[in-house]
Amino acid sequence: MTRLISTLNAAYEVPEGRSWLKVHAISLGLTVVMAVLIVTALLLVLAGGHLVGFVGQGLGVSSVGLIVGKVLQWMLALAFVVLAFALIYYYAPDVKERHWYWITPGSVVGVLLWALSSLALRGYLHFFNSYSKTYGSLGAVIILMLWFYITGLAFLVGGEINSTIEHAAAEHGHPEAKAEGQKAA
C-alpha cells in the first residue's frame, strides 16, 4: 500500500509531505479497509446467491423477487469495489485539497480493468494452469501475488487517468483543478 501511495503521488506529480508515521498509518488503515471491503464483496458474490435463495424461500418470494435480489447482490458487491477505489483515490495521494467523488473516470476505468483482467486471469488459470504442477503448494501464492499485481495496476491506471484529467482541467482554467506538481488549488 505504501508503494501504491508513492506511485499515486508520482501520478499526481506531488511530493510526499506527510511524515513517515502518517504515511504508514494511512497505509495500514487503507489495507485493513480494503481487506474488509474486498472480502465483503467476495462473500456477497460467493454466498449471496444462497442467502437470497434461502431468505426468498423462507418469505415465499416469487422468482422475480429472487432475480431482483440477485441483481441487488451484484450491485452491492460492485458498490463495495467502487468504494474501495474511491477511498484509495481520496486518501493515498498527498494532495492538500481533497474532494470526495464516488465515481470518477479513473475509478470507472480502474474497476472495469480490474474486473476484466481478473476474469482473463481466471480463464487463463482454468485452461492453462500448471502452477500447482510446477511449484506445488507455492503455486497458489504465486497466483495470488499475480492477482495483487493486476489489482495494483488497475488502481494505478485509474489514478493516472484521474490525474491527467485534473491537470488538463487546470490548464483550461477550472478553478478547483490542480496543475502538475501543485498540492492546493
In a domain, 120, yes or no: yes
Q: Which residues of the chain have pLDDT under 50?
A: 183-185
The model's pTM: 0.77
Residue 184 lies in a domain: no
User: Which string of DSSP letters, residue by residue, matches 61-112?
Assistant: --HHHHHHHHHHHHHHHHHHHHHHHHHHHHHSS--SS----S--HHHHHHHH
Instruction: Give me the domain span that covers residue 79.
Output: 2-171
Domain count, the chain: 1
181 inside domain? no
Domain membership flag for residue 182 = no
pLDDT of residue 179: 56
178 occurs within a structural domain = no
Classify residue 99: in a domain, yes or no: yes
